[in-house]
Amino acid sequence: MKFEDQRKIMIRDQIAGRGIKDKNVLNAFQKVERHLFVDDDVKHLAYNDSPLGIGRGQTISQPYMVATMLELADLNKEQIVLEIGTGSGYQTALLAELAKEVYTVERIDFLIQRAKSTLVDMGYDNIFYKSGDGTLGWEGGFPTCSKFDRIIVAAGAPVVPASLRDQLAIGGKLIIPAGDRAMQELIMVERTEDNFLETRHGGCMFVPLIGEEGWHEV
């Protein structure tokens, strides 16, 4: 079956079929070709609803989980988004379709260089890249940006990093898996004028967020 048909079935059965309603999210999933973000030996699995290896012990996340995070984020073309954990660049492409600008941070230099090359080849010109520890947010990144409307973390943290809370704009939303090293809960933090409100959105399993305000490397 052609990749385009596999993608339609994935969206129908695994994303819309499991309750994702946001039309913009569904359109972005239709547009971004997941098979272009994985190695040749797993391309035939690209439209299964599962994470896949992308090298260096990391994974491209499960499509339904990515869709859940994107729907929770309630994105629009006015927003500036910080993404932590670029990985293959697949979620970065979806964010670039849904928001004005995406600032993405990945701790493994090989992965961010490969993702950047894929995303530049695809023509995305609203993405900025930083190789380093994303638990500290965009600190030291170029162009400078100190506040974000949305922050999406694609790795599991022990707790919500203080630096990420600080870099959230008032009215902004931070989506992050947090809990123990193997299993987490999806948490959304909303910043109001004088508070941070936390809501919980179900269990999940992500690779660990490793860094100064995350887990230690083993």
**Which parts of this chain interact with ligand SAM (CB under 6 A)?**
58-61, 84-85, 87-88, 90-91, 105-108, 111, 133-135, 154-155, 206-207, 209-211, 214
**Complex with ligand SAM: residue 79 or 91, whichever CB lies closer:** 91
- Closest approach, Cβ 192 to ligand SAM, in A, equals 27
Cross-strand partners of 191: 196
- Closest approach, Cβ 149 to ligand SAM, in A, equals 19
**Complex with ligand SAM: residue 93 or 197, whichever CB lies closer:** 93
Handedness of CA 201, 206, 210, 215 (dihedral sign): positive
CA distance 155 to 107: 11
- Closest approach, Cβ 101 to ligand SAM, in A, equals 17
Angle at 64 (CA atoms; ends 80, 49), nearest 5 degrees: 135
175 token code pair: 């989506």
- Closest approach, Cβ 196 to ligand SAM, in A, equals 21
Residue pointed to by tokens 């987490």:
184
Residue of 61, 88, 117, 163 marked active site: 61
* Torsional class of 92: left (φ above 0), alpha (ψ -120 to 50), beta (otherwise): alpha
**Complex with ligand SAM: residue 14 or 135, whichever CB lies closer:** 135
76 contacts 88 by C-beta, under 8 angstroms: no
> What's 216's DSSP letter?
P
The CA–CA distances, whole Å, from 97 to 27, 80, 86, 157, 216 equal 9, 12, 15, 26, 33
For residues 1, 69, 61, 32, the Cα torsion angle rounded to the nearest 10 degrees is: 40
**Complex with ligand SAM: residue 91 or 184, whichever CB lies closer:** 91
**Complex with ligand SAM: residue 107 or 173, whichever CB lies closer:** 107
Q: Is 88 an annotated catalytic residue?
A: no
CA distance 35 to 6: 10
- Closest approach, Cβ 141 to ligand SAM, in A, equals 12
Which residues are known to be catalytic? 61
